[in-house]
Structure 1
Amino acid sequence: MSITASFTGSITALAVFMFVNSITPGPNNLMLLHGSIKRGFWACRFHMLGICVGVTVMLWLSYWGMAALVVSFPSIMLIIKILGTLYLL
């Protein structure tokens, strides 16, 4: 039961992160806006594909790195939680 709940929470967090990442006006979105205004939507298709692939690779590498860190040092999860809470406050 806890594995399913944890998996569901992880998928929800991933979906929220990807949604927010796709609508925030970061450098990738601004470059796409500029390119599509200058050359059209179709000319930016490879740039859009590159952004999608890049975000996917970034997420997987981050996940693998954090998983390896937490598995190697389980006590570090408490430090991450405390620092994250302080950052949000």
Structure 2
Amino acid sequence: MTLPVDPARYGAFLATMFVMAITPGPANLFAIATGMERGKRAALVSVLGMNCGTLVWFAGSALGLGALIIAFPAAFHILALAGAAYLVWLGLKSILAGIRNAESHAKAVVRAGRSAFVDGFMVQIANPKAILFFTAVLPPFIDVKRPLAPQLLMFACATIGMDLISMSSYGLGGAALSTRMNEPGFRRGFAFLVGGLLISAAILIVSRG
């Protein structure tokens, strides 16, 4: 019986993916910020959104999106810049909230107006780590002599599994700090930190994109 992916090749892919998953990048920084700002549930929902974005990238790879990225890099550069601008906007909102409202509430309120899922999805779609992964990291592990779909399925399972663990750990770690949100001084510092994390994620998108 022939496996969809050569075991040695798949093992090398798992090692590469592990390093990429645990390395702090825009997605993991966003998970931390969401956990700190909006709690455990929102952090996990944002992780789900980011991994749905990863699924879109895998589907695009199956349809030849990698070739399109190479052929039209400017379009994806614009996409990355749009994602970075969105994160800067969220970061500035958090910083302004820290300046204006840190002392005005008796209790902290987790904001639920935005969709954590949509935010996470947008971050991952514009994530340069994802673009790099699907244009440079993944292709060498694909065996052109074997059917493409089964290979992509195995790669997708490994990628999403590791990302779920890594992103959730980052997000829940951020959420653990949210229990101190009833302290006015902590709220102010927290708002600045969340804003800084989001803007740092945007800088990573621009610098790596």
TM-score range, shorter chain: 0.5 to 0.7
**Which structure shows the higher helix fraction?**
1
Tell me the equivalent position of 2:151: 43
Tell me the equivalent position of 1:16: 122
Unaligned runs of 5+ in 2: 1-109, 204-209
Larger RCO, structure (CA 8 Å, separation 6 or more): 2
Confirm or deny: 8 A CA contact 1:36 1:43 kept in the other structure: yes
CA–CA distance in 1 between the matches of 2:160 and 2:141?
A: 16
Report matched runs for 1:7-86 at 5 Å: 8=115, 10-21=116-127, 23-26=130-133, 29=134, 30-40=136-146, 41=148, 42-72=150-180, 75=186, 76-84=189-197
Using a 3 Å threshold, how does the CA distance of structure 1 residues 77 and 39 change in structure 2: closer, same or farther? farther
CA–CA distance in 2 between the matches of 1:84 and 1:32?
A: 28
The Cα of 1:63 is off from its aligned counterpart by: 1.4
Tell me the equivalent position of 2:98: none
Provide the alpha-carbon RMSD of the alignment.
3.2
Identity level (%): 7
For residue 51 of structure 1, what is the amino acid of its counterpart? T
For residue 64 of structure 1, what is the amino acid of its counterpart? L
- Give the TM-score taking structure 2 as reference length: 0.32
- Give the TM-score taking structure 1 as reference length: 0.62
